[in-house]
Amino acid sequence: MTHHLSVWRAAQLLGVARGVLQQQVREGSLVLSDGLVPIDELLRLYPEAQLEESGLLERVAQIRDEAFGKRVRERLMPSQEVLAQRLFAQTQELADVRKHLQHYHRLVVELQKKARERAQEHPRDATWQDMERQISQGLAQALATESVNLLEVMDDMLKIMTAQVTVRPSGHQFLVEGHANLLQSGLHSGLRLNYGCGNGSCGMCKVRVISGEVTQTQHSDYQLSETEKSQGYTLMCCHTAASSELTLELLEASGPQDIPEQQITTQVRAVTALAPNTRLLHLQTPRTHRLRFLAGQSVRLGWTMPVTGDVHATYPVASCPCDDRNLLFFIRRDSTDPLANHLFAGDIKPTAAITVLGPTGDFVLADGHRPLVFAACDEGFAPIKSLIEHALSLDAAPSLSLFWLATGGDGHFASNQCRAWSEALDQFEFELVSDHDPVAGASQVALAMRADLFDIDCDFYLAGPADFVATLHAELRAAGVAESQLFTEVL
């Protein structure tokens, strides 16, 4: 019988993006059976040799390596308690299968014996002889040792190391690795989960377990009622998956309208000069009060200046919602921006308190499976970076392309980040463009897009000054891109 895998597990085993397999399903080159990938289909498309490149074998070797650091082991390996629970469940499943096989074996041997007796009683009746021969051959075949399929072995092992969670009613899936709890794992996978404190006191991450087992990983002050407990409710921030498959019922935010406004007092972790006129501001929220936002959104920052009072400014968040405690901003020198003036003057130092109010804005990733194309001009790279990181967490797009125009002396102040993505990910490519004029630069970007992209059936995200966005938008519309595939943010 053919072994079946979920698309997520198959992607993990092969070391390819989930979006790549989903694209093959849509194109018809990979045929699913009841929503699952048959292993022989997978082997037809991906020769077994590719397993060597999947990274999984390497990861297993790393875990075995005694010298490998405790931190990495914690990231990859679940706790001993969770491992024991998953191993117990798998051993129980194996014991069940063994019991069933023994029953079937006894039944077939009994039938073989009966057929042999009938064949001896009726030597002229070929039917009994044929039946006896068929049963004997089938039995010999079933008992013969067949080579084990490596993918099947890997899948079984993966089920112990990582749990797969399916979310109802959206159908989204995510994996739980290492010591991560359900909330952290869901956020790292790009899901728009409902939560608040992240430490078991507010109850906002409450979900219902439909199937599978969870185990508590930290104490919670929030008390579930007896009815909620009996209905299977649990807190995502205080539990992890104890079984290798888990189904949860929960509501995800469908868009910016579902994210409440929040006010949080954060602390400056660092101010880093990326270029003469660009600073990276790193804020950290308290552990118990994180910022819930969608990639591509902005927040209003406030700093209280000794004696003279507050200064405010709104900036797009340049980091991923999956790291909701660490908020990054690219801030440009601008004489009309009082907060930037103080930052460049060195008045805002590490440990200073900065108020974050928000989030605002609807420049967020749309649902869909098209290839994603991002275009940024100067600091427009901030919301684009957040969107790219979110898209990488979701792992649903078959490919991601970035075109970044620099118009000033600060150039591509975070080009290292682009190179890092490109080196780490097969499905990511980028092109850096320079032109002092945003309009001429937008036309150059449009030309580069036409040269690099073989079709226009992509979703395009454009961020930067108004003239850059308007010019590129017009060029793409003229090239035949539908309005519904264009998303813009003017900064």
Beta carbon nearer to ligand FES, 205 or 331 = 205
Rule CB under 6 A: is residue 201 a binding residue for ligand FES? yes
Q: In the complex, what is the shortest distance from the CB of residue 467 to ligand FES, in angstroms, rounded to a whole number?
A: 43
If binding means CB under 6 A, how many residues of this protein chain bind ligand FES? 13
- The answer to whether 219 and 200 have CB atoms below 8 angstroms apart is yes
**Interacting residue with ligand FES among 15, 38, 178, 196 (CB under 6 A):** 196
Return left, alpha or beta for 91; rule: phi > 0 is left, psi -120 to 50 is alpha, else beta: alpha
CA R_g for the chain: 28
Residues 202-221 that bind ligand FES (CB under 6 A): 202-205
Beta carbon nearer to ligand FES, 16 or 207 = 207
Rule CB under 6 A: is residue 198 a binding residue for ligand FES? yes
Rule CB under 6 A: is residue 328 a binding residue for ligand FES? no
Contacts of 174 (CB under 8 A, 6+ apart): 164, 165, 167, 185, 186, 188, 189, 191
Rule CB under 6 A: is residue 200 a binding residue for ligand FES? yes
Rule CB under 6 A: is residue 222 a binding residue for ligand FES? yes
**Interacting residue with ligand FES among 39, 135, 158, 235 (CB under 6 A):** 235
Rule CB under 6 A: is residue 259 a binding residue for ligand FES? no
Q: Which residues pair with 434 in a beta bridge?
A: 406
Rule CB under 6 A: is residue 289 a binding residue for ligand FES? no
Q: In the complex, what is the shortest distance from the CB of residue 205 to ligand FES, in angstroms, rounded to a whole number?
A: 3
Rule CB under 6 A: is residue 195 a binding residue for ligand FES? yes
From the list 67-75, 142-150, 200-208, 351-359, the region that binds ligand FES by CB under 6 A is 200-208
Beta carbon nearer to ligand FES, 195 or 428 = 195
Q: Which residues pair with 488 in a beta bridge?
A: 462
Contacts of 330 (CB under 8 A, 6+ apart): 274, 278, 279, 280, 315, 318, 379, 381, 382, 413, 414
- The answer to whether 346 and 333 have CB atoms below 8 angstroms apart is no
Rule CB under 6 A: is residue 158 a binding residue for ligand FES? no
**Interacting residue with ligand FES among 14, 167, 207, 237 (CB under 6 A):** 237
Q: In the complex, what is the shortest distance from the CB of residue 222 to ligand FES, in angstroms, rounded to a whole number?
A: 5
Interface positions with ligand FES (CB under 6 A): 195-198, 200-205, 222, 235, 237
